[in-house]
Amino acid sequence: MDKVIFHIDVNSAFLSWEAVNRLQAGETKDLREIASAVAGDKNKRHGIILAKSTLAKQCGVKTGEPIGDALKKCPNLTLVPPRHSLYVEYSKKFIDILCDFSPCVEQCSIDEAYCDMTGMSTLFGHPINAANKIKDRVRRELGFTVNIGISNNKLLAKMASDFQKPDKVHTLFPEEIKEKMWILPVGELFFVGKSTVKKLNDLGIYSIGELANTDVGILKSHLKKHGEVIHSFANGIGTSLISNEEVKNKGYGNSTTISFDVEEEGAAKIILLSLAESVAARLRRDDMMANVVSVSIVDSEFRHCSHQMTLLSPTHNTDEIHKVACALFDDLWDGSPIRNLGIQTSKVVSDETERQMNLFSFETDEKKEKLDQAIDSIRNRYGTSAILRASLVQQKKDK
């Protein structure tokens, strides 16, 4: 049976949810129909535009730009503060509706999710009809709109959902790639940031089609592993499956929004070391070990990407988690300035679980285990700053 995958994305989620909530409370002015935006505190790092209305966009307001710049373009811009608890509430309602249509729903962020609709035509009809039923029900019951992309894999479904907005359903099956996707600028491809666009343009590659038809060896020579990844994406190859399995103990993770845009690999990996220390210490505190490590990156354009790796055996060792995180980072990062980095662990098990021994590093692993225990003991007794890694001390001096 051919796979049928939906990608459902809430249109301007934060602004839409704020608008709906205010209308339900009795306000007559719809934020979506005026020049408006959700924005953080302009006196802090988060004093930027998080979501904008169509009229604000027409004035030139961009997501991620400072509030001051937005007000220069649109002096009458109505600004509202973000409300995380409200977003969580509407996100849950949104996902609940999706679960009525598919037994396999994977939420990938607060405002988007994938549904495996394979074999569901007997219940909901043709995929396009089913998508319209979902879209119309969300609008009718919750008051906001979504875009839905349909394909046979997650990558193409996501690309399709980014076509014309709002409140639309689009398909992008393999046979439609040439007509619908290859004509787009290369910057529209998932996983291609501004710095990658520049590198590709320098190679004479401007469209997704040109990227798809470029020799992969040329791309790898200029972009390393990332070149191979985006070449596959340009050809519509995305093999990851949808999983609705709950990630056990989601709390074993940490992320940080950085006070400056990180543009150097070394600086990013020092930040990852700090995050790995925090995550590993919490795992050890709870006598747990992780089987999966993932890294997430948010760049200065608010593009989010993440990647994960299943380990040979579970661990709660700082150095092991950091090593994997750095390898994932190398695969992910396209050179774009970074504003947020995160490490997440999953599929955790008790540290009493039998581990698969690595015969070539058993002695080293044992020493690392003793070192971690010693560090934890000192910090528990004298505080977390009682003992610091040299690289992290140097980072503090350099700031």
Domains and CATH numbers, the chain: 5-9+86-167 (3.30.70.270), 14-84 (3.40.1170.60), 182-234 (1.10.150.20), 253-398 (3.30.1490.100)
Q: What is the pLDDT of residues 178-231, one digit of tens each?
A: 999 999 999 999 878 878 899 999 999 999 999 999 999 999 999 888 899 899
Choice among 106, 112, 277, 320 that is catalytic: 112
Tens of each residue's pLDDT in the chain, 399 residues: 689 999 999 998 999 999 999 999 999 999 999 999 998 766 554 578 888 999 999 999 988 788 889 999 999 999 998 888 898 899 999 999 999 999 999 887 788 999 999 999 999 999 999 999 999 999 999 999 999 999 999 999 999 999 999 999 999 999 999 999 999 999 999 878 878 899 999 999 999 999 999 999 999 999 888 899 899 999 998 766 665 655 444 558 888 888 778 888 888 888 898 899 889 888 888 888 888 899 999 887 777 888 888 877 788 888 889 999 998 998 888 888 898 999 999 888 765 544 443 433 433 455 556 666 666 665 555 555 544 555 444 444 444
CA dist., res. 74 & res. 20, Å (int) = 23
Contacts of 50 (CB under 8 A, 6+ apart): 14, 37, 38, 39, 40, 63, 82
| Residue 57: count of CB within 10 angstroms of its CB | 15
Task: Choose among 158, 163, 83: nearest CA to 113.
Answer: 158
CA dist., res. 162 & res. 233, Å (int) = 15
The DSSP element (H or E) to which 254 belongs, if any, is strand 253-262
Direct distance between the N- and C-terminal alpha carbons of the chain, in angstroms, rounded to an integer:
57
33 catalytic, yes or no? no
What pairing do the DSSP bridges indicate for beta strands 169-171 and 146-151? parallel
Threshold 0.85, pTM exceeds: no
The DSSP element (H or E) to which 114 belongs, if any, is strand 112-116
